[in-house]
Amino acid sequence: MAISLVRITCAVLLLLAGAARGASVLPDGSILVVGDSLSAGYGLPADRAWPAQLAGRLTERGLPWTVINAAISGDTSAGGRARLSALLERHRPALVLIELGANDALRGQPLSATAGNLRAMIDAARATGARVGLIGMQIPPNFGPIYTRQFHTMYRRLADETDVPLLEFLLEPIADDPTAFLDDGIHPNAQAQGPIADHVARWLSRAFGLPTLAADG
């Protein structure tokens, strides 16, 4: 009986937290991350990547969500779109976080194609009843000011058109710190994964009603 009361109390607190933020609470289940090397933890042990750190915080707090990191280094929006159906069928996630597009830009792909792939992924995830969050990226200015600006605004426009929550820039808390990256200057190092996990956790709290999971929360 005591365990049941604790579970009921936790559920009520989660509902109140979500209501306070104006976000409906995410149903129990899995959180599926579909992304590229920035979420796969390129060059790092799998348990150091930010999705693994987020998963650890959920487990430590005994919360009813798990994290499935389906990110693959080098993946593009087309690759994510191609493999999403199988992931949805296998995991039946409550929430799908889409972090793709950076490799499209590195390959000079048309933004219309990237946006079309991301939109198709959003639609496919929603068709299963999952909620969706879009994680944006920014690219260096050496791609040219027009393409760089259009790439950044693509995520906001797509989020507005599809009415999904957007995390504007995954690497925002570390972007200006050169010591937060591997020698390639592109991929976050092990020490940067915690701040990224905190950044995502605060967004999940605001957008999806999850409890505060940030390390300093």
Q: Active site residue: 163, 176, 183, 184, which one? A: 184
- Strand partners of residue 135: 167
Burial of 160 from C-beta contacts in 10 A (0-12 / 13-18 / 19+):
exposed
Does residue 37 carry a catalytic annotation?
yes
Per DSSP, the chain holds a count of helices (H) and strands (E) of: 8, 5
User: In sequence order, which ranges of 37-141 are alpha helices (DSSP H)?
Assistant: 37-40, 50-60, 77-91, 102-106, 111-127
Q: Active site residue: 36, 91, 104, 187, which one? A: 187
Q: Active site residue: 37, 39, 77, 205, which one? A: 37
CA distance 35 to 69: 8
Whether the Cβ atoms of residue 201 and residue 213 lie closer than 8 Å to each other: yes
Catalytic positions, written as ranges: 37, 184, 187
